Amino acid sequence: MQLVLGLHNLRPQHRGCVATIGNFDGVHRGHQAILERLRERALELGVPSCVVIFEPQPREFFAPETAPARLARLRDKLQLLADAGVDRVLCLAFNQRLCKLSAAEFVDTILVDGLGVQHLEVGDDFRFGCDRVGDFDFLQQAGLMQKFTVEAAQTVELDGVRISSTKVRDALASADFGLAERLLGRPFTIEGRVLHGQKLARQLGTPTANIQLKRRRAPLTGVYVVSVEIDGKTWPGVANIGVRPTVAGDGSAHLEVHLLDFAGDVYGRRLTVAFHHKLRDEQRFASLEALKTAINADVAAARAFWLGQPLKKSLK
């Protein structure tokens, strides 16, 4: 899959494609259906498929403080789009200039002049352009004039409710991982590299792998039963995701995983963590001793959970 960063990096050879536009956060089953249609259309027309995404996502640009936590980082989103068979991603900087483009300017500058789009695939509720004035009807009218076709993808629902990134976030916030999996079409996972921590966990009796979240806010917080994939092997574990109030961290979110019955060095390795069950909220304890007691109870609860469950071999 080819990644084009910014409109200015589009070249004449990029013109001529079928395209879709959106945030695609989490690449859930609604997104997957659009991407499937896009792939079919690309094959029929014999042109590449292109997904137009924004960075930051519009809500992060307009209201950085209140924008929801992302389900996946840009890197993970690109991987999921590549897995769905997308040929090209055009990642546009969402800035003052872009958000001021009228719907007509958006179509002319990006879709027609930039991409030479032959067919557009969008959700029926898709809106774009300054003040979100552009919609499906607008695109169809523009398509008649500018010689591209537009198709509204059928809404994908689960139990009568439209699937959306928001619904996945809600499922994670209420620790309904079964629902999150049914919305995503795969288990919810967080992937990252293991960093060196403060080495306090060893003193607490439970060594943990600290997974870098970078500046990412996580869509869930608390203590969870998890499974962890390392180099194709899956291990049971228990994890804390949060700001670690007892040891007064820097306020940034951390993901720490204790692997049950694992002896080995995982520093620098990439782990994929899948969440199965919430044990409790993160707490501020009065002492390290109290934290240690709580973590021991978490480990015991995770063991009890895995006693009754087969461990899935792969998280994909």
Ligand X SMILES: Nc1ncnc2c1ncn2[C@@H]1O[C@H](COP(=O)(O)OP(=O)(O)OP(=O)(O)O)[C@@H](O)[C@H]1O
Ligand Y SMILES: Cc1cc2nc3c(=O)[nH]c(=O)nc-3n(C[C@H](O)[C@H](O)[C@H](O)COP(=O)(O)O)c2cc1C
Q: Which is nearer to ligand X, 126 or 306 (CB)?
A: 126
SS3 assignment, position 55: strand
Give the rounded distance of the alpha carbon of 38 from its chain centre: 20
Q: Give min distance, CB of 73 to ligand X, in A.
A: 15
- 269 interface partner picked from ligand X, ligand Y, none, CB below 5 to 8 A per type: none
> Using N-to-C axis directions, what is the helix angle for 165-173 and 177-184, rounded to 10°?
160
SS3 assignment, position 255: strand
Of 38-46, 154-162, 200-208, 269-277, the window that binds ligand Y (rule: CB under 6 A) is: 200-208
Q: Which is nearer to ligand Y, 6 or 245 (CB)?
A: 245
Residue 62, CA atoms < 13 Å, CB-side half-sphere: 11
What is the contact mask toward ligand Y in residues 220 to 239, using x (rule: CB under 6 A)? ---x--------------x-
| Helix-then-strand count for the chain, H and E | 10, 14
SS3 assignment, position 75: helix
Q: Give min distance, CB of 164 to ligand X, in A.
A: 3
- Residue 202 neighbours by CB under 8 Å, 6+ apart: none
Q: Give min distance, CB of 126 to ligand X, in A.
A: 4
Q: Give min distance, CB of 34 to ligand X, in A.
A: 5
Does 256 engage in binding with ligand Y (CB under 6 A)?
yes
Buried b (16+ CB within 10 A) or exposed e, 87-122: bbbbbbebeeebeebebeebbeebbbebbbbbbbbb
Q: Give min distance, CB of 231 to ligand Y, in A.
A: 21
- 164 interface partner picked from ligand X, ligand Y, none, CB below 5 to 8 A per type: ligand X
Q: Which is nearer to ligand X, 34 or 302 (CB)?
A: 34
Chain residues binding ligand Y by CB under 6 A are 197-201, 206, 208, 210, 223, 238, 240, 244-247, 256, 258, 282-283, 291, 294-295, 298
